[in-house]
Amino acid sequence: MNCMNITPNSCPINLSNACQTLECGRQPHLAIKAGTHTPADYVGMYVNHHMWTDAHPVGVIVGTYGKTGIIVQPVTCTELEWAPEFHAGGFAAHCANNYDQRWAFTVDTSRPPIKMRLTRAMADGGDRVNVRPVRFHDNNF
C-alpha cells in the first residue's frame, strides 16, 4: 500500500503522516503509546474487522474522545455484479477469480455511531485502521 498515490478526490481520507505509520505496518495504538500520534490523526480513515482470510468494514472514524477513543460511523457494503468462476479442486471447488470481487461502500447515517478505543486489544481482536474500507470474502476457504 502506498499512501502517496491516494488523492483527496479518490478517497475521503486524512492525508497526514498517520498514513505513513499504517504503511509501515504499525497500528495506531503503538503510535499513540509512543506519543507520535493522537486519535485525531486518524479521523477520516476506516476501521475494518479482519477474520483470518475475510474482512468486513466497520466504519469511518468521524471523531475522537479521551486519550485513545474514536467515534466510528458504520459503513455498509453492497456486492457489485460479479460472477465467481468455480473449478473442481480444493475442499469442494476452487474460485479462480476470487480477487475480482467488487464492493460499493456507503456511510450508514441511520445507525448510531460506535465508540471504540485504539488499543492493543482492538488490534488483537481483528480491528485494523486502514485508509479505505475493505470487504473480502474468501471463497476458497
Q: How does pLDDT run across 46-100, given as a tens digit for each residue?
A: 888 888 888 888 899 999 888 888 899 999 888 888 787 888 876 777 777 777 7
Kindly report the pTM of this predicted structure: 0.70
| pLDDT higher than threshold 90 for residue 112 | yes
Q: Which residues contact 118 (CB under 8 A, 6 or more apart)?
A: 27, 28, 29, 32, 39, 42, 68, 69, 70, 129
Distance of alpha carbon 84 from alpha carbon 35, whole angstroms: 46
% of the chain exceeding 90 in pLDDT: 9
Number of alpha carbons in the 13 Å side-chain half-sphere of residue 52: 5
Cell numbers that stand for 19 in this block? 498514513
If residue 109 lies in a helix (H) or strand (E), which one and from where to where? none
